[in-house]
Structure 1
Amino acid sequence: MAFQSESDAKSYWKENISLVVKLMVVWFAVSFGCGILLFDVLNNISLGGYKLGFWFAQQGAIYTFVILTFVYAKLMGNLDRKYGVDDE
């Protein structure tokens, strides 16, 4: 992986870390926020016969993690192409 300049490398890593932080905030909000902090409030709503708080605690965080993995891969591919460090 070779960058055109030092400033490109710094910009790339700045955008990379920013993306990771944003995705981790989403995951934290879903797993900790919806699965623990808002558990009782969300249990007043049903999803497929299950209480929503229970669903987030048991399944929602996992589904969110899988979706965020694909989102990260897509956005990092775009970032790699933007800075010319992709594999192609």
Structure 2
Amino acid sequence: MSAPSDEQPPAAPARPNLAYWRANLVVIVIMMIIWAVVSFGCSVFFVEQLNAWHIGSLPVGFWFGHQGAMYVFVVLVFAYALIMDQLDKKYGVKE
């Protein structure tokens, strides 16, 4: 039999941590919605309506399906990094 330990169980997470993770999840959900709308909406669901316009000689629906969605994804990655940097500073989270 082992001797009783004076160690206490870890404390429950503090409220600021919960607020930080909720803010993080909100950012992720918004980014995923934007990604889904651009990836599926612009290049699959609304392709016929977008093909009425052209970028250079390419229809916009085709352009979104082949290049535009990638550009939006790269912008989302940088936007997520900037937003999370601001949230880290707001909530005092350090790496």
| TM more than 0.5 | yes
Q: Which residue of 1 aligns with 2:72?
A: 64
8 Å CA contact 1:42–1:53 kept in 2: the answer is yes
Distance in 2, matches of 1:51 and 1:27, equals: 20
The two structures have a TM-score, normalised by structure 2, of: 0.84
User: Cα offset for 1:69?
Assistant: 0.1
- Deviation per CA, 1:5-28, whole angstroms, max 9, x where unpaired? 610000000000000000110111
**2:53 is aligned with 1:45:** yes
Q: Which has the larger radius of gyration?
A: 2
Structure with the larger helix share: 1
Distance (Å, rounded) in 2 between the aligned partners of 1:48 and 1:86: 46
3-state DSSP of counterpart to 1:79: helix
Q: Which one has more relative contact order, counting CA pairs under 8 Å at least 6 apart?
A: 1
Following superposition, which runs of at least 4 residues in structure 1 exceed 6 angstroms of deviation? none
Residue 85 of structure 1 pairs with residue 93 of structure 2 = yes
Identity of aligned residues (%): 42
TM-score (norm: length of structure 1):
0.90
Unaligned runs of 5+ in 2: 1-12
Q: Does 1:26 align with 2:34?
A: yes
